[in-house]
Chain A
């Protein structure tokens, strides 16, 4: 049988992060982009936990709790923004929102 080493976890995290990142670049729907951000956050969480397990320290796991709390708060604010975008333009595409163009 294969032994599941830290490398496996890190590789998985890298793959998840890349998926989230490319999703961010490709998709225009605000809701999907939002999910991609969550994917990247959790990829980072996985890295933290793998490193924590690897070095036998608790620091990484503490950081994960902080990330989770911040992510929860961010979801609340972010979803509220997306809802108000829907109300304004009846589509969730972010390309229309280019008011901050220089």
Chain B
């Protein structure tokens, strides 16, 4: 019965291997049957597991596949607890709809089968990551996710930009993975174990400084995988992949892994104030920078990519202030509305024959009413308009920061500003695509086909209602996680009137952002006489350019890391390499050949000379015998 957990984890792998081996399987409909039925089966089993898990009062259990080593004890095993159950349900549920969307979006692609191989492999990797019961298996899943995201991002590998984007994602993730790996070594050294249960339960026995060092390395891994500052620039580039794959990366798999990992290690994290503070500051920086960058992007997918980074920043802020439940809750709601937005963007791109520049769009509301409506729901949800999903989770994060008081009030204000920016750029996104006048007429636009419509509608419904699983009136997610986070002190929401006022403020922030977007991009307020002076125009131009260039961070990074590294390695090449290393090697080689020349002159090849040497040493031997008194005499 408990072994049933293995089915949803390994079924995607089986499907991937099966599709991989069927080289002659050309017909798309047959591929669809295999991949969709396998994901529906695994979703049904997951739902069954989840329901039994709920009935059994969220008692967690483990399934050991095999024991690897005895000491330190490392098992290849999977655990079902509140956190992994939620992720399991989320990943396998979303993957159905994204796959269904893909069957239409990827149709007629020459590598149709390969796409679904990668897709299923990706789902498998993520499930290994979330179901793991120790750090090593988690790292295995972590690396598999990195690999499969690389495969999907550079899926159209004949495009140079796609393969470069894949490389960038992989290399930047590698920096994070290095941190994770070092963290793992510290964990093994400190706890003599990798098991979550053992490590996390013994966290209070360990000095705080050790925990700080361990967690600082681990969060570096999370920063890489979840695209946080300064390792975030791979995610916008990852838009080179197929759009449904982006939806998968952004919603259910990959980028949520960092948040998941931090919640998983929250028993460690809570003891280290330093690490929590670093997470908070980095999260805030990321949320602000990427929200700012999103306001003047022109690629339909890049806006969404920066928006994802920004929302992940919100989750990191929540973790930084100890609101782990709020972070998981935002992960959950974000997964639905971000999947919805990406699939909507995919439908638009498909309808416009792979046009991605939003300046060339506009007025699509009439031609694609359903997509426009669903994207509208997604936009409202991410902006935090009640009662849609994003409101509940974002408000919970904001309220948690506020309840910490003191200096955190400043952080609260900045987070609120990021929320205003979120509503603003999402409003701009929707208005430019669906509302304003098209600058270029594209013929033959039709609304999404049925296989795209169904996922959009389902995700739209979820984006409206999923927020109700964890409201101030019904703490669903908190109940689900209470055993996982048993020993963790969670920052709770303020009570009563404060909560209501905070909710009103965050609603106000959402509306303010949307209204500003409406004024600027629908009413064209910036062209009116009110703002017709040079200083203001310059300011707008400056903001636009800074936003488009992501605050010039890529260029700064280029100067520091690329040019700096080149300069440094040139110096190193001259000093260390040619003088120190080559010098040492040459010295050894030369000394050997010179000494060999000296000694080899004694080898004359004449027998009588050898006899002479022989006699010479014989005399020495005899002399030694005569001089030395015999042993034991």
Give B603's nearest chain A residue, CB to CB.
Answer: A102
- In the complex, the answer to whether B605 meets A97 with C-beta atoms within 8 Å is yes
CB of A1 closer than 8 Å to a CB of B? no
Number of A-B contacts (CB under 8 A): 34
CB of A100 closer than 8 Å to a CB of B? yes
Could you give, for residues 20-63 of chain A, a 1 whenever the CB lies within 8 Å of some chain B CB and a 0 otherwise? Answer: 01001110100001000000000000000000000000000000
Could you give, for residues 592-609 of chain B, a 1 whenever the CB lies within 8 Å of some chain A CB and a 0 otherwise? Answer: 000000011111111110
- Chain A residues lying within 8 Å of B627, measured Cβ to Cβ, are none
- Chain B residues lying within 8 Å of A90, measured Cβ to Cβ, are none
- Chain A residues lying within 8 Å of B601, measured Cβ to Cβ, are 102
- Chain A residues lying within 8 Å of B574, measured Cβ to Cβ, are none
Give A36's nearest chain B residue, CB to CB.
Answer: B611
CB of A99 closer than 8 Å to a CB of B? yes
- In the complex, the answer to whether B611 meets A100 with C-beta atoms within 8 Å is no
- Chain A residues lying within 8 Å of B615, measured Cβ to Cβ, are 21, 25
CB of A101 closer than 8 Å to a CB of B? yes
- Chain A residues lying within 8 Å of B612, measured Cβ to Cβ, are 25
Would you give the shortest CB distance from B606 to chain A, in whole angstroms? 6
CB of A98 closer than 8 Å to a CB of B? yes
- In the complex, the answer to whether B603 meets A33 with C-beta atoms within 8 Å is no
- Chain B residues lying within 8 Å of A102, measured Cβ to Cβ, are 599-605
- In the complex, the answer to whether B600 meets A25 with C-beta atoms within 8 Å is no
**Distance in angstroms between the alpha carbons of A97 and B606 in the assembled complex:** 7
Which residue in B602, B606, B611 is a CB contact (below 8 Å) of A95?
Answer: B606
- In the complex, the answer to whether B600 meets A98 with C-beta atoms within 8 Å is no
- In the complex, the answer to whether B606 meets A98 with C-beta atoms within 8 Å is yes
Known: A21-B615, A25-B612. A101 touches B607 (CB 8 A): no
Known: A21-B615, A25-B612, A25-B615. A94 touches B607 (CB 8 A): yes
**Distance in angstroms between the alpha carbons of A25 and B615 in the assembled complex:** 9
- Chain A residues lying within 8 Å of B606, measured Cβ to Cβ, are 94-95, 98
- In the complex, the answer to whether A98 meets B611 with C-beta atoms within 8 Å is no
Give B611's nearest chain A residue, CB to CB.
Answer: A24
Residues of A within 8 Å of B, CB-based: how many? 14
Give B601's nearest chain A residue, CB to CB.
Answer: A102
Which residue in A28, A33, A98 is a CB contact (below 8 Å) of B605?
Answer: A98
- In the complex, the answer to whether A101 meets B603 with C-beta atoms within 8 Å is yes
- In the complex, the answer to whether A21 meets B605 with C-beta atoms within 8 Å is no
- In the complex, the answer to whether B605 meets A99 with C-beta atoms within 8 Å is yes
Within 8 A of A (CB), among B597-633: 599-608, 611-612, 615
Would you give the shortest CB distance from A36 to chain B, in whole angstroms? 9
**Distance in angstroms between the alpha carbons of A34 and B581 in the assembled complex:** 54
Would you give the shortest CB distance from B263 to chain A, in whole angstroms? 74
**Distance in angstroms between the alpha carbons of A97 and B106 in the assembled complex:** 83
- Chain B residues lying within 8 Å of A98, measured Cβ to Cβ, are 604-606
- Chain A residues lying within 8 Å of B603, measured Cβ to Cβ, are 100-102
- In the complex, the answer to whether A24 meets B602 with C-beta atoms within 8 Å is no
Could you give, for residues 63-102 of chain A, a 1 whenever the CB lies within 8 Å of some chain B CB and a 0 otherwise? Answer: 0000000000000000000000000000000110111111
- In the complex, the answer to whether B611 meets A101 with C-beta atoms within 8 Å is no
Would you give the shortest CB distance from B48 to chain A, in whole angstroms? 84
Would you give the shortest CB distance from A4 to chain B, in whole angstroms? 24
- Chain A residues lying within 8 Å of B608, measured Cβ to Cβ, are 24-26, 28, 94
- Chain B residues lying within 8 Å of A100, measured Cβ to Cβ, are 603, 605
- Chain A residues lying within 8 Å of B602, measured Cβ to Cβ, are 102
**Distance in angstroms between the alpha carbons of A21 and B607 in the assembled complex:** 12
**Distance in angstroms between the alpha carbons of A102 and B615 in the assembled complex:** 21
Give B600's nearest chain A residue, CB to CB.
Answer: A102
Would you give the shortest CB distance from B593 to chain A, in whole angstroms? 13
Given pairs A25-B608, A25-B611, 19 additional interface contacts (CB within 8 A): A21-B615, A24-B607, A24-B611, A25-B612, A25-B615, A26-B608, A33-B607, A94-B606, A95-B606, A97-B605, A97-B607, A98-B604, A100-B603, A100-B605, A101-B603, A102-B599, A102-B600, A102-B604, A102-B605
Going nearest first, the 9 A-B pairs with the smallest beta carbon separation are: A102-B603, A98-B605, A102-B600, A101-B605, A24-B611, A100-B605, A94-B607, A25-B608, A25-B611
